[in-house]
Amino acid sequence: MSSMNFDFQAILFFIVLSLGLIWLVGHFYNKKDHSIIELSGALFPILLVVFIIRSFVFEPFRIPSGSMMPTLVKGDFILVKKYAYDLRLPVTNRSFWNTNELKRGDVVVFDYPCDTSIKYIKRLIGLPGDEISYKNKQIKINGDLLANKFQYVYKNTKQYGAHVYEESIGKNTHLALLTPSRRGKEGVFEVPEGHYFFMGDNRDNSKDGRYDCPGYVPRNHIVGKATTIWFNWDFSSLPEWNRIGKSID
């Protein structure tokens, strides 16, 4: 989702660490009245709370493309639940506690396997050991056809002629975008152990598990589960206020 070439979480960690050390040194040498010490003491607890929330609870992201339409559109600002599947150490990103297993149908943020500084967001279709088939715009999971039902023609000027379908994966129901005039990449995909297979909801306009990159995504690349749209603004137009507060299914 993001092509930033720096690690904001690591930068925030070192800022918090620096402020904490300055504040401690000031107290040790009884320099609490110094302006730098006072500023560090004021900022340290605030940024520490921000760092803890971003590391273990929720992290905000912005959607930069239309590969997850109609579920998510370009300009959506979302919250990702960091503890949905794992608790990870800040900066190193090493998991120290698995909290839950991933479920088919979840909308998941993960590190792009070919460049881990980039975050991707897709829908989980295949679990370890699954065989996924995608042909004629239909998905089969271990030979079972994924039920879908036409809903309406998508009224979006950026993708004329696309059709919205309702899909069901287990207890999860979501919308997917299929464009009759386009042909998405097809094939049969066998998910290795310890890996997951993801697809974008905008099936004919998504670089996902069907391609060599990202391909199959290992568990240690999973960042968290997308839960809520907290704002929307594409910068080229006014915000879509009706999207604010929508849960991500």
Buried b (16+ CB within 10 A) or exposed e, 135-159: eebebebeeeebebeeeeebeeeeb
Q: Is residue 149 annotated as part of the catalytic site, yes or no?
A: no
- CA atoms of 212 and 207, how far apart (whole Å): 9
Set 67, 82, 137, 225: catalytic member: 67
Q: Is residue 140 annotated as part of the catalytic site, yes or no?
A: no
Q: Is 109 in contact with 93 (CB distance < 8 Å)?
A: no
CB atoms within 10 A of CB 132: 21
Set 40, 55, 119, 122: catalytic member: 122
CA separation (Å) from 41 to 21, 65, 87? 10, 40, 28
**195-199/217-218 β-pairing:** antiparallel
CA separation (Å) from 134 to 19, 33, 209? 52, 67, 11
Catalytic residues: 67, 122
